A and B are shown apart, each in its own frame.
Chain A
């Protein structure tokens, strides 16, 4: 009876989004790798990395939209999951450096040698293997989200309370990662990466491949989100968002649902962070700053929450604006603009770009339909009238007769 999961997930805007993403994911790297430097259509490598960064942000925004837009969970700590994924990848990249570091220690990363570590802390074991690191990219954020969510949702911490404790969570992690003895490079974080899976992270080919992978991850993440929100589970999530306790009275275990999307979302954020790190070449505790997480929320708000496409779009638009403004003469005003964006979007554009567009589109469609109906009605009316007139005419003629 219900359509297949794929047809269900791919409505028109979703299809358009995926097509555009695929086109960018294929054309940009090709242009970068194949076209000569001088060519008009050549995309320089730095732009590939920049766009790759945006795509990772878009995936983060998507993960936030899944829980905020559909389940009403406003996490102000999603940057933490992003950063944890990033750290997991960074640890792998660190261990790939091997003897090429300043201290040429085959096991210990430079900062550990510098801080007089005698041996590798246990939690760094296994990160020399890519598969293990990749697994940790999902497991660490997922596990944290699971434990945190299990505690929070079971005790029915909701709304702003939840937002505030998620913020406290990322703040606590920020403080922890700043410490040198925490074993993650302290203040400086992890950087000076050399290669990933044997490819030089600086090389054009690697950058292009990372970009393609990011697009792929975004596409897959998007499909997963679509599949979730178009399933019956998606309806339950919206029900929870709108009337949590009513959902309970229907027999749904609200905390399990929340836990499921929260963990899923954290894993997605972790993947985004993992792809982000090799492209920007560094991960440091600053990524845990509460401000980052809130900024990511505003991307979603700008694009339109509860639309998925909007979240991705919002992330790209806001970050593009950020790049443009912070590198130009307007740099000192960027924070004013960002602040104003927060205020104006919440006040004037609560549905965001896509949401507003959708509403307008629906409105137009309805108007069209109404016009059609009116036309049809007036047509029938006209027909009736003419019929009547004809009758009348006939009558008159009859009378005349």
Chain B
């Protein structure tokens, strides 16, 4: 009872002060004797009630020194001389200043003692800290402060919050203040049911994990209307959360799927179209990533201004580097092994060892730093999920690469020749197609695309000599799952594996999820040995 009696007047005064302040928009003029000085002096009054009132006033004054004083109070470094009504701050290094003015003082007066705190006051102090920033001129700070009030729902800052809410022009900040206010009202014992129900509605509209936590934390003993309001709001939020977590998983899945697709497209050409088992495919990806690294190094040392364009420069280069090495490999090794898939597998595994070791020797065994250009860093919020730009760009990039490849196979003469050679080599040869040139170019194309994939993957993965190893099994799984020789199958395969993986992860954990996916694919291959979209007919058996 005394508490309430004490609070009431202070509250109304506080409210008034805060309002005034907000209109003035941060009083910076140091008045000689005003609310601020009164507030400081009140710390010397001695009783807990006075201290509490002083804190409130101090916050409302929004004086630049208010924060310093509050911090000192919190740390027990605020000393008051009850007789002189002066207050001092003892800095950590022992120097003493006058709390109100900040002027240095030789020493603490003998009578000065530390301003005492009890638990209730401690809460008021931390609320006050938040209250101070609620009125900050910096928009982000204001929003942050409002959010922290939302969590602490400290009654003492209610007036400040309300004042800030009224004054606020920015929509996001206004929203944050409204939510903070709702949180406080919900926990305020003497708030009316109407207020509380309104508050619940606001919190429900927020609908996130924190809103859920807040509602769960409401103490028991509310009126029936409020209790049922809370229950239904919780249910609604839960549904909302479930929905958003689905959306989130789907997005992560799409993102993983795009990475898988990117890594697998090249393989879909070399393995899917040509039937060559290239175990060095992952190393082509790695070469692409290292090309990006080299490009960025060159740019950093010579033309730092071009850094944002580094990836644009790296893409064609990576294609050329990986493609050229692919052609070299095809001409020097693979062409002697056509029709002997198991031998091809072993030889290309050997090539992958050589490439890894070569990169290790040239660039060292550790991770290399590849930076994100500015347009790829950062993130934005979409509803309740955060979308990072690099993931979004990679998704777009992957789809673009896929589309270009598809168009290439369909509309260019190389694409036509490629399809002819893979469907019937001898026939194609007798029609005057230089099959060995087409083989080399096809393999080069597949490898080049792997190189491009490396550029993109360098943005989200560690660039190390082992980069390729981590993708090879996944890529094969994607191609086999989607159905060999079918690019659309690879697309569907990559995205369904990516999404399945991300939906399993929360249930089973990352590693078990991955194991589960591998086991599922193994089982799937039993059911449909030739993949999701298998080609049929005699061509396959030959």
Whether the pair A163, B345 counts as a contact (CB closer than 8 A) is yes
Whether the pair A167, B343 counts as a contact (CB closer than 8 A) is no
28 of the cross-chain contacts (CB-CB < 8 Å) are: A74-B342, A76-B345, A148-B522, A151-B523, A155-B527, A155-B529, A156-B529, A160-B342, A163-B277, A164-B480, A165-B480, A165-B521, A165-B522, A171-B473, A172-B518, A175-B515, A176-B512, A294-B346, A297-B346, A298-B350, A332-B357, A336-B353, A340-B354, A342-B351, A346-B337, A347-B336, A347-B347, A350-B343
Whether the pair B353, A338 counts as a contact (CB closer than 8 A) is yes
Interface flag for A276 (CB, 8 Å): no
Given the interface contacts A175-B514, A346-B346, does A168 sit within 8 Å of B473 by beta carbon? yes
Whether the pair B342, A338 counts as a contact (CB closer than 8 A) is no
Measured CB to CB, the closest approach of chain B to A341, in angstroms, equals: 7
Select the residue from B350, B354, B358 with max chain A CB neighbours within 10 A. B350
Q: Which residues of the partner chain A approach B346 to less than 8 Å between Cβ atoms?
A: 294, 297-298, 301, 342, 345-346
Measured CB to CB, the closest approach of chain B to A300, in angstroms, equals: 10
The list of the 9 closest CB pairs from A to B, nearest first, reads A342-B350, A339-B353, A339-B354, A335-B357, A155-B526, A172-B518, A339-B350, A346-B347, A343-B350
Interface flag for B139 (CB, 8 Å): no
Measured CB to CB, the closest approach of chain A to B273, in angstroms, equals: 15
Q: Which residues of the partner chain A approach B358 to less than 8 Å between Cβ atoms?
A: 336
Q: Which residues of the partner chain A approach B351 to less than 8 Å between Cβ atoms?
A: 339, 342-343
Given the interface contacts A151-B523, A155-B527, does A343 sit within 8 Å of B477 by beta carbon? no
A74 to B515, CA, bound (A): 22
Given the interface contacts A168-B521, A336-B354, does A154 sit within 8 Å of B526 by beta carbon? yes
A336 to B337, CA, bound (A): 21
Q: Which residues on B are within 8 Å of A, measured CB to CB?
A: 277, 279, 333, 336-337, 341-347, 349-354, 356-358, 360-361, 473, 476-477, 480, 511-512, 514-515, 518-519, 521-523, 525-527, 529
A172 to B522, CA, bound (A): 11
Residue in A74, A156, A336 whose beta carbon sits within 8 Å of that of B345 in the complex = A74
A145 to B73, CA, bound (A): 71
Question: A338-B353, A339-B350, A346-B347 given. 8 additional CB < 8 A pairs?
Answer: A152-B525, A157-B525, A168-B477, A168-B518, A169-B522, A294-B279, A336-B354, A339-B354
Whether the pair A290, B529 counts as a contact (CB closer than 8 A) is no
A160 to B341, CA, bound (A): 7
| Residue in chain A with minimal CB distance to B271 | A160
Q: Which residues of the partner chain B approach A340 to less than 8 Å between Cβ atoms?
A: 350, 354
A76 to B361, CA, bound (A): 27
Whether the pair A179, B345 counts as a contact (CB closer than 8 A) is no
Q: Which residues of the partner chain B approach A336 to less than 8 Å between Cβ atoms?
A: 353-354, 357-358
Whether the pair B480, A347 counts as a contact (CB closer than 8 A) is no
Q: Which residues of the partner chain B approach A74 to less than 8 Å between Cβ atoms?
A: 342, 345
Select the residue from A151, A154, A301, A342 with max chain B CB neighbours within 10 A. A342
Whether the pair A172, B354 counts as a contact (CB closer than 8 A) is no
A332 to B465, CA, bound (A): 14
Q: Which residues of the partner chain A approach B477 to less than 8 Å between Cβ atoms?
A: 164, 168
| Residue in chain B with minimal CB distance to A334 | B357
Residue in A159, A164, A342 whose beta carbon sits within 8 Å of that of B476 in the complex = A164
Q: Which residues of the partner chain A approach B333 to less than 8 Å between Cβ atoms?
A: 343, 347
Residue in B279, B341, B354, B527 whose beta carbon sits within 8 Å of that of A159 in the complex = B341
A301 to B336, CA, bound (A): 17
A380 to B347, CA, bound (A): 53
Whether the pair B350, A338 counts as a contact (CB closer than 8 A) is yes
Whether the pair B529, A157 counts as a contact (CB closer than 8 A) is yes
Q: Which residues of the partner chain A approach B511 to less than 8 Å between Cβ atoms?
A: 175-176, 178-179
| Residue in chain A with minimal CB distance to B280 | A339
Interface size of A by CB at 8 A reads 44
Given the interface contacts A163-B342, A179-B511, does A342 sit within 8 Å of B525 by beta carbon? no
Interface flag for A131 (CB, 8 Å): no
Give residues of chain A (324-339) contacting chain B, Cβ–Cβ below 8 Å: 332-333, 335-336, 338-339
Whether the pair B356, A151 counts as a contact (CB closer than 8 A) is no
A68 to B337, CA, bound (A): 18
Whether the pair A155, B342 counts as a contact (CB closer than 8 A) is no
A156 to B540, CA, bound (A): 14
A339 to B350, CA, bound (A): 4
Given the interface contacts A336-B357, A339-B354, does A172 sit within 8 Å of B526 by beta carbon? no
Whether the pair A347, B349 counts as a contact (CB closer than 8 A) is no
Measured CB to CB, the closest approach of chain A to B515, in angstroms, equals: 5
Whether the pair A172, B527 counts as a contact (CB closer than 8 A) is no
Q: Which residues of the partner chain A approach B525 to less than 8 Å between Cβ atoms?
A: 152, 155, 157, 161, 165
| Residue in chain B with minimal CB distance to A298 | B346
Q: Please, what's the 1-or-0 string for A287-299, where 1 marks a CB less than 8 Å from any CB in chain B?
A: 0001000100110
Measured CB to CB, the closest approach of chain B to A298, in angstroms, equals: 6
Q: Which residues of the partner chain B approach A347 to less than 8 Å between Cβ atoms?
A: 333, 336-337, 347
Whether the pair B522, A168 counts as a contact (CB closer than 8 A) is yes
Q: Which residues of the partner chain A approach B518 to less than 8 Å between Cβ atoms?
A: 168-169, 171-172
Whether the pair B526, A151 counts as a contact (CB closer than 8 A) is yes
Q: Which residues of the partner chain A approach B526 to less than 8 Å between Cβ atoms?
A: 151-152, 154-155, 157
Whether the pair A335, B354 counts as a contact (CB closer than 8 A) is yes
Give residues of chain A (47-90) contacting chain B, Cβ–Cβ below 8 Å: 68, 74, 76
Given the interface contacts A151-B522, A160-B345, A175-B515, does A332 sit within 8 Å of B350 by beta carbon? no
A74 to B340, CA, bound (A): 12
Measured CB to CB, the closest approach of chain A to B228, in angstroms, equals: 42
Select the residue from A68, A151, A333 with max chain B CB neighbours within 10 A. A151
Q: Which residues of the partner chain B approach A342 to less than 8 Å between Cβ atoms?
A: 346-347, 349-351, 353
A76 to B347, CA, bound (A): 14
Measured CB to CB, the closest approach of chain A to B283, in angstroms, equals: 11
Residue in A159, A171, A335, A350 whose beta carbon sits within 8 Å of that of B353 in the complex = A335
A335 to B354, CA, bound (A): 6
Residue in B336, B342, B473, B529 whose beta carbon sits within 8 Å of that of A167 in the complex = B473
Give residues of chain A (113-148) contacting chain B, Cβ–Cβ below 8 Å: 148
Measured CB to CB, the closest approach of chain B to A200, in angstroms, equals: 37
Select the residue from B342, B351, B476 with max chain A CB neighbours within 10 A. B342
Q: Please, what's the 1-or-0 string for A171-211, where 1 marks a CB less than 8 Å from any CB in chain B?
A: 11001101100000000000000000000000000000000
Select the residue from A164, A335, A338, A350 with max chain B CB neighbours within 10 A. A164
Measured CB to CB, the closest approach of chain A to B390, in angstroms, equals: 26
Q: Which residues of the partner chain B approach A159 to less than 8 Å between Cβ atoms?
A: 341-342
Q: Which residues of the partner chain A approach B342 to less than 8 Å between Cβ atoms?
A: 68, 74, 159-160, 163
Q: Please, what's the 1-or-0 string for A342-375, where 1 marks a CB less than 8 Å from any CB in chain B?
A: 1101110010000000000000000000000000
Measured CB to CB, the closest approach of chain A to B325, in angstroms, equals: 14
Q: Which residues of the partner chain B approach A298 to less than 8 Å between Cβ atoms?
A: 346, 350
Measured CB to CB, the closest approach of chain A to B287, in angstroms, equals: 15
A26 to B333, CA, bound (A): 44
A254 to B522, CA, bound (A): 20
Q: Which residues of the partner chain B approach A346 to less than 8 Å between Cβ atoms?
A: 337, 343-344, 346-347, 350
A128 to B333, CA, bound (A): 51
Whether the pair B529, A339 counts as a contact (CB closer than 8 A) is no
| Residue in chain A with minimal CB distance to B361 | A332
Select the residue from B337, B341, B345 with max chain A CB neighbours within 10 A. B345
A90 to B476, CA, bound (A): 33
Q: Which residues of the partner chain A approach B473 to less than 8 Å between Cβ atoms?
A: 164, 167-168, 171, 290
Measured CB to CB, the closest approach of chain B to A318, in angstroms, equals: 12
A226 to B477, CA, bound (A): 36
Select the residue from A68, A294, A301, A339 with max chain B CB neighbours within 10 A. A339
Q: Which residues of the partner chain B approach A157 to less than 8 Å between Cβ atoms?
A: 525-526, 529
A54 to B361, CA, bound (A): 29
Measured CB to CB, the closest approach of chain B to A345, in angstroms, equals: 8
| Residue in chain A with minimal CB distance to B353 | A339
Q: Which residues of the partner chain B approach A169 to less than 8 Å between Cβ atoms?
A: 518, 522
